[in-house]
Chains A and B, each alone.
Chain A
Amino acid sequence: MSETALAEEQSSTEVSSSKIVTLRIAKFNPEHDSGQQYVDFKVPYERWTTVLDAVLDVKKHLDHSVAVRYSCRQASCGSCGMKINGRPRLACFTKISELNSDVVTVEPMNNYPIVRDLVVKLDKMFANHKKMQPYVIREDSEITAPTKEFNQTPEQLEEYIQFANCIKCGLCNSACPTMATDSSFLGPQALGQAYRYVADNRDKGKYSRLKIIDESHGIWRCHFAGSCSQVCPKGVDPAMGIQLLRGYLLGFRK
């Protein structure tokens, strides 16, 4: 075997074909800036480079002051939600190459207060999530009587498992047009989770939850825009959860 043939064989995986993208980062520190400022950075990227990789590249080599929140880098923790070219997405789950654009603009998500740069305050979403009593409610428990098991059939699991995939990234709330003006609205994230527990056959807390969501800034302030389900990175479909919950409240579902 000749030397060149060997070299070709070894490089059967694609070798670096580094291209350059302009990463435009919205910078803002509410403590002393009067408004957002967009700063451009030239960043090399590969086919597999994510937007988070690019932001961290900037942070490491060009401007270490860029504020960004992340942890898992694999679409599990829900920390890295931001607006990428105008659409709420997970930075670690969005490749530069899939955006088909020479300029990638990253901004903090809409509908949340900005902590700094790309980091937003999610406290309200977590508070609304907690209001939904996000746990199985019943008198007896698997914990106090360890011999007990709450079995579920695959069909019963199917009723809610899609909604259990929520990672609390908050992309849905930032895409929701009602959230944009109604600061008291519970939001698709919380409502989707209310459905997740209501639809769980082990749970007995349905009436308590239905009462919580049936208030003036609750479930009825959804107007079927469906943006939440379009941006959800985990396929949760909160918009459907909301419609199914309405079924209970309108008496179509038991």
Chain B
Amino acid sequence: MRESTIMKIHYGTALAAVVLVAVHVLFRVTMMNYEDSLAYENVLANYKYLPYAIMLELILVLLSVHGFNGLRVILLELKQGRSYEKAVTYGCIAGMAGLIAYGSRTILMASMGIT
């Protein structure tokens, strides 16, 4: 992929995350007392409300892509070399996929009521 395409995704995911995280925080402060948002029943209820669960999934994907690409950039600037750079690229893609898979599993299980 062209570096400019990757960076467009990087900036795009950051912008989209700002919007979605704002919605997420607004939900927390408007629906109930902020302190109650991490209460067991409320957390579960969130996951069971499909539109909200989809939004959480989106935030997960956006920030995993953004975060792991950011990590790739840091590592590329830290040290150079063909095999090292290959390892960084594939390592970050693997990390990204792993985090998304693990997070999605949590969201899916909670929304289906498996706890």
Contacts and interface: CB of A to CB of B under 8 A. Distances in A.
Interface string A165-198: 0000000000000100111110000000000000
B69 to A, nearest CB: 11
Contacts of B85: 216
B76 A249 contact: no
Contact of B3 (A178, A184, A185, A218): A218
A219 B2 CA distance: 12
Nearest to B88: A216
A214 B3 contact: yes
B3 to A, nearest CB: 5
A182 B3 contact: no
Interface string B46-74: 00000000000000000000000000010
A183 B4 contact: no
A220 B70 CA distance: 12
B7 A217 contact: no
Contact of A178 (B2, B4, B8, B77): B77
Nearest to A210: B4
A215 B80 CA distance: 14
A217 B80 contact: yes
B104 to A, nearest CB: 29
A7 interface: no
B78 interface: yes
Interface string A212-242: 0011111111000000000000000000000
B4 A184 contact: no
A184 B80 contact: yes
A216 B3 contact: yes
A72 interface: no
Interface residues of B, number: 12
A250 interface: yes
A72 B24 CA distance: 62
Contacts of A219: 3
B7 A220 contact: yes
A220 B4 CA distance: 8
A249 B4 contact: yes
A178 B77 CA distance: 7
B80 A220 contact: no
Contacts of A215: 3
Contact of B4 (A181, A214, A221): A214
Nearest to B7: A220
Contacts of B4: 214, 220, 249-250
B80 A214 contact: no
Interface string B24-56: 000000000000000000000000000000000
A219 B8 CA distance: 13
B2 A182 contact: no
Between B8, B78, B80, the greatest number of chain A beta carbons within 10 A of the residue's beta carbon is seen for B80
Interface string B1-35: 01110111000000000000000000000000000
Interface of A: 178, 181-185, 214-221, 249-250
16 contacts: A178-B77, A181-B78, A182-B77, A182-B78, A214-B2, A215-B3, A216-B76, A216-B85, A217-B76, A220-B4, A220-B7, A220-B73, A221-B73, A221-B76, A221-B77, A250-B4
> What are the 7 A-B residue pairs with the smallest beta carbon separation, nearest first?
A182-B77, A249-B4, A184-B80, A214-B4, A220-B7, A220-B3, A183-B80
